Amino acid sequence: MPSVPSTKETAVKGPVCPHAAKLLSHANGEGKLREGSLPLNGVDKVPAAGTEDANGTIQINTKNVAAERKWIRPDLPSRCTWSLGASKDDSPHTQVPRKVTPTLLPNILHRIGDTPLVRINKIPKMFGLKCELLGKCEFFNAGGSVKDRISLRMVEDAERAGLLKPGDTIIEPTSGNTGN
């Protein structure tokens, strides 16, 4: 079983995760290990412990990191241009209008994703809470599971890709609460 390298190591001989090879480089659609040593979490050289550089900021090398692995530092100012009260036309974000659920649905699948919220009144009064407390009624889900949305998505995606046909079975890797 692979182990996670310590911070004292400057490079790793191969990926820690068996799927990391796919993130490093692709050749003909198959994952392939990059030649030579790999940077540790995107850092080419880690300062030795006990040195003055070890207490400073480490510059992460993003040249060899896949686009989805480039992280945005949380201490930097936001680049978002949205502001409260601005027009929807100037907003950089997608704004989907809220749908009103009809009382008569074509089938049970249209109930998925519409789990009702209810206001809890007695607990805030009893404990003097100064906030609105809501409960989500997961037992109202179409399949009786907290994972109805992902179940529907797995089936729709597999059908769209031609991987799932009537009578086929999907085996999902959860703790068993996706439904029966």
Q: Which residues carry out catalysis?
A: 147
Count CA atoms within 13 Å of residue 59 on its CB side. Answer: 3
Distances (CA, A) of 50 to 40, 46, 57: 19, 12, 14
CA pair distance 87, 146, nearest whole angstrom = 36
Q: What is the H or E stretch that residue 21 is in?
A: helix 20-24
Count CA atoms within 13 Å of residue 118 on its CB side. Answer: 8
Is the separation of the CB atoms in 151 and 145 below 8 Å? yes
∠ Cα 60 63 66 (to 5°): 95
